[in-house]
Every structure is written in structure tokens, then in C-alpha cells.
């Protein structure tokens, strides 16, 4: 089943957002336009816009207002991906060459800056100080998360807390902000939009853990890039942390480095997959999902609430 079937009533609005996304990055500068479009056309789940719209559905939903918030959040996400690919020295994303691979690191850095600037420009259309406060706090945390990620790379002594804090900043807070901002701008009362924030936070944590598991269990076709890429780039994720509790695997993992033989990497990946670490990681993911669903239950019943519940459940079982 495809995730988009969970919110068919949003399809027309999401199609509009897709057009607005494309519109938003039309630059006079050919290079910027090409690089940004390249990234946009590679696709993506657009879950941040979906969460923005669903959050707004709990209040006074006006697509002509809320679209700017939805597009802005997807652009912020895209901008952070472009910069991440520079850091990770990543060649592929969503089955396509990354901007840094197709052009170079400098172009990627400035394309990220540009996409981010466009996001901010759109947000200024929204005259709601609380929304701006939430977004800017999120962006600060996101940028701290980015640098922490560099610091933690190939650091095999890091613990679970490091990992959780990192994915909180890297992923969960922006999803939390997406859920909340849609609601804030649509005039949803504070006690409800705070719950949406919590919901988004828990879903985001679960989402990232599943993502990190998929890097081990997914096929190259599903992932759009070879599996094990996170580990190869020195990103120590939850399955790795669990697997490293075994002394033998621990010593093998510490030998991982960029440019190692694919065969040797495959061996380490296999060890991790067979260690029970995948199952333990998915349990943690499920625990966050349960928390997300519990917070959601505190909101009054609605069609949007049902979609949020379905998406949360779907995220725990997805294979892409």
C-alpha cells in the first residue's frame, strides 16, 4: 500500500503544493534553478507538507494561507539534505546523483543556502509571531544537530543518548514543528497544537529510527542508494549501537572506513543484521509510535486525526 492512500482528500492540495515547490525555486540563475529542480524532481515523501496540512485541518483550514507554510517546511528539509550530502560525501539520493556529485560541493552549499532563503521568504507571508518563533527555534536546533553529526562521526564510544539527541535535532523537531505550525497558523487552540507538536516529535523519532534500520534491511532499489551507507559514512545509528554490545561485532565495526572493500562491508552489515540489533531498534521505534498514538488520542475525533493515526502506523511498517 502507498502512504498517499491514507489522505486522498488532500491530493488536490498536495498537487498544488508540488507546483508551488517548483515555482518557489525558479531562479534567474540557471545553475541554481537546475540544481534545485534536480533535487525536487528526485521526489521524496513530502511528509512535512502532509503534516502541515493535517495540522491545519484541525483549525480554520485555508489552503491559500497554509500552502506557504507547507512549501516552506519542505524547502527547509530539502536545504538541509543538500548540506548533509556535502558532509556525508554522498553520491546518490533517491536514486539520483546528489547535487554535490552532479555539480560540486560549492554549488551544493550555495544551492542549500538559496533553497533555505526561499523558504524564509515564503514564511514571511505568514503574519503570526508564534509561528516564526517555533520555526526559528527549530532551525537553530537543526543547525546544531548538523554539526553534532559531524562531531559524532566514526565516534564508536557514543551512547544511546547521543544518538537520540542527534535524531531529535536532525529529524524529529522539524516534523514536530510541521504538525504544530499547520495548526498554529490555522488558529488551533494552544493545548491542541502543543499535543500535535508532541505527536510529531514522537512520530519523527520513530520515523528516523525506521530510516536508520532500513539502511541495513532495505535493498538498493528500495533505498535509491546502496545499503549500509550510513555506517560507511561513519554515522553510528541505533542498530550499530545495539550490535556493538557484542565484543566481536564491536571490533569489526571499528574497522569500517570510507573506501573499504564492499565485500568486507557486507560482512559487517550481515553481522549487525543477525545480531538482533534490528529487532531491538524496531522495538524502540514502536515505543515512540505508541507514545505518538497516545498523545493523538487526546485530540477530539476528526478525519484529519484518523489520517494522522494511519500515517503514524504506516511509518512503523514502511519499507522505503
Residues near a second copy, by CB under 8 A: 27-29, 31-32, 83, 86-87, 105-107, 109-111, 113-114, 116-118, 120-121, 123-124, 127, 129, 132-133, 135-137, 139-140, 142-144, 146-148, 150-151
What residues form DSSP beta bridges with 96?
A: 93
Q: How far is the CB of 99 from a second copy (least distance, A)?
A: 12
Nearer to a second copy, 6 or 126 (CB): 126
Q: How far is the CB of 177 from a second copy (least distance, A)?
A: 13
Closest CA to 224 of 318, 92, 100, 81: 92
Q: In the 8-state DSSP scheme, what is residue 159?
A: -
Nearer to a second copy, 149 or 307 (CB): 149
Q: How far is the CB of 300 from a second copy (least distance, A)?
A: 30
Nearer to a second copy, 165 or 293 (CB): 165
Q: How far is the CB of 209 from a second copy (least distance, A)?
A: 23
Q: How far apart are CA 169 and CA 191, in angstroms?
A: 23
Q: How far is the CB of 318 from a second copy (least distance, A)?
A: 29
Nearer to a second copy, 137 or 220 (CB): 137
* Contacting residues for 95 by C-beta, under 8 A, at least 6 apart: 42, 224, 225
Q: Which uninterrupted H or E stretch holds 113?
A: helix 105-123
Q: Are 104 and 67 in contact (CB under 8 A)?
A: no
Q: In the 8-state DSSP scheme, what is residue 97?
A: E
Long-range contacts of 131-136 (CB under 8 A, 24+ apart): 131/69, 131/181, 131/184, 131/185, 134/177, 134/180, 134/181, 134/184, 135/72, 135/177, 135/181
Nearer to a second copy, 93 or 118 (CB): 118
Nearer to a second copy, 54 or 142 (CB): 142
Q: How far is the CB of 114 from a second copy (least distance, A)?
A: 4
- Give the gyration radius of the chain's Cα atoms: 19
Describe the crossing of helices 160-167 and 129-152 by its angle, rounded to 10 degrees. 140
Q: How far is the CB of 112 from a second copy (least distance, A)?
A: 8
Nearer to a second copy, 128 or 217 (CB): 128
Q: In the 8-state DSSP scheme, what is residue 103?
A: S
Cα of first residue to Cα of last residue in the chain, in angstroms, is 11
Q: How far is the CB of 87 from a second copy (least distance, A)?
A: 5
Nearer to a second copy, 91 or 286 (CB): 91
Q: How far apart are CA 187 and CA 183, in angstroms?
A: 6
Q: Are 59 and 183 in contact (CB under 8 A)?
A: yes
Amino acid at each position: 500500500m502507498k502512504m498517499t492512500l491514507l489522505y486522498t482528500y488532500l491530493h488536490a492540495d498536495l498537487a498544488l503544493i508540488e507546483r508551488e515547490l517548483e515555482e518557489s525555486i525558479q531562479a534567474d540563475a540557471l545553475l541554481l534553478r537546475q540544481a534545485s529542480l534536480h533535487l525536487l524532481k528526485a521526489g521524496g515523501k513530502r511528509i512535512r507538507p502532509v503534516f502541515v496540512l493535517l495540522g491545519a485541518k484541525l483549525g480554520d483550514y485555508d489552503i491559500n494561507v497554509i500552502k506557504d507554510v507547507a512549501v516552506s517546511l519542505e524547502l527547509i528539509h530539502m536545504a538541509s539534505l543538500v548540506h548533509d550530502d556535502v558532509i556525508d560525501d554522498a553520491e546518490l539520493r533517491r536514486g539520483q546523483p546528489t547535487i554535490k556529485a552532479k555539480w560540486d560541493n560549492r554549488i551544493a552549499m550555495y544551492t542549500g543556502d538559496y533553497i533555505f532563503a526561499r523558504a524564509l521568504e515564503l514564511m514571511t507571508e505568514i503574519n503570526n509571531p508564534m509561528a516564526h518563533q517555533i520555526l526559528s527555534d527549530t532551525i537553530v536546533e537543526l543547525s546544531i544537530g548538523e554539526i553534532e553529526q559531524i562531531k559524532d562521526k566514526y565516534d564508536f564510544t557514543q551512547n544511546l543518548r547521543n544518538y537520540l539527541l542527534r535524531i531529535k535535532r536532525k529529524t524529529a523537531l522539524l516534523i514536530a514543528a510541521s504538525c504544530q505550525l499547520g495548526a498554529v497558523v490555522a488558529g488551533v487552540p494552544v493545548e491542541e497544537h502543543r499535543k500535535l507538536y508532541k505527536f510529531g516529535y514522537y512520530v519523527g523519532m520513530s520515523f528516523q529510527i525506521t530510516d536508520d534500520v532500513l539502511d541495513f534491511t532495505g535493498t538498493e532499489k528500495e533505498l535509491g542508494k546502496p545499503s549500509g551507507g550510513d555506517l560507511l559514512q561513519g554515522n553510528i545509528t541505533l542498530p550499530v549501537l545495539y550490535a556493538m554490545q557484542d565484543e566481536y561485532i564491536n571490533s569489526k565495526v571499528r574497522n569500517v572506513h570510507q573506501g573499504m572493500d564492499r565485500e568486507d562491508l557486507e560482512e559487517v552489515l550481515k553481522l549487525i543484521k543477525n545480531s538482533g540489533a534490528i529487532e531491538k531498534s524496531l522495538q524502540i521505534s514502536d515505543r515512540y509510535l505508541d507514545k505518538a498514538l497516545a498523545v493523538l488520542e487526546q485530540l477530539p475525533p476528526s478525519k484529519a486525526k484518523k489520517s494522522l493515526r494511519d500515517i503514524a502506523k504506516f511509518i512503523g511498517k514502511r519499507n522505503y
